[in-house]
Amino acid sequence: MSGWMVVAIVAIVMSALVKIVSIRRDERHGVVRDEDDNPVRLPRDDPAARREIEELRERIKVLERIATDGNTPSANETRRISQEIEALRDRQDG
């Protein structure tokens, strides 16, 4: 590996680490980023903001459950059986 490649890889890794540390620091201090990646400080004692954050967390949990439950063996088996039933219905109608 040439020296320039090593320097490039180190630079990429270091920039990623700096970004990760920055994000972690922002999270600890109650700062979030807007659409343009500008820091926005949320008031810690705002009940409406806290309620909205909790609602968003619940929505994320539901979406994660939907995404993962659809790929379980039992969900795949249910899907397979449903397809077989539909195929039998189509054959019976035809």
Residue 42 has pLDDT above 70, yes or no: no
Q: Are residues 29 and 70 in the same domain?
A: no
Residue 1 has pLDDT above 60, yes or no: no
Output 26 or 76, whichever has higher pLDDT: 76
Q: Could you tell me the CA-to-CA distances from 22 to 13, 14, 28, 72 in Å, in that order? A: 14, 12, 10, 37
Q: Are residues 78 and 56 in the same domain?
A: yes
Write down the mean pLDDT value for the chain: 79
Q: Are residues 61 and 34 in the same domain?
A: no
Residue 29 has pLDDT above 70, yes or no: no
Q: Specify the pLDDT at position 49.
A: 77
Q: Could you tell me the CA-to-CA distances from 86 to 78, 80, 90 in Å, in that order? A: 12, 10, 6
Q: Are residues 48 and 91 in the same domain?
A: yes
Q: What are phi and psi of 44, to 5 degrees?
A: -75, -25
Name which of 1-5, 27-31, 61-65 the model is least confident about.
27-31
Q: Are residues 74 and 50 in the same domain?
A: yes
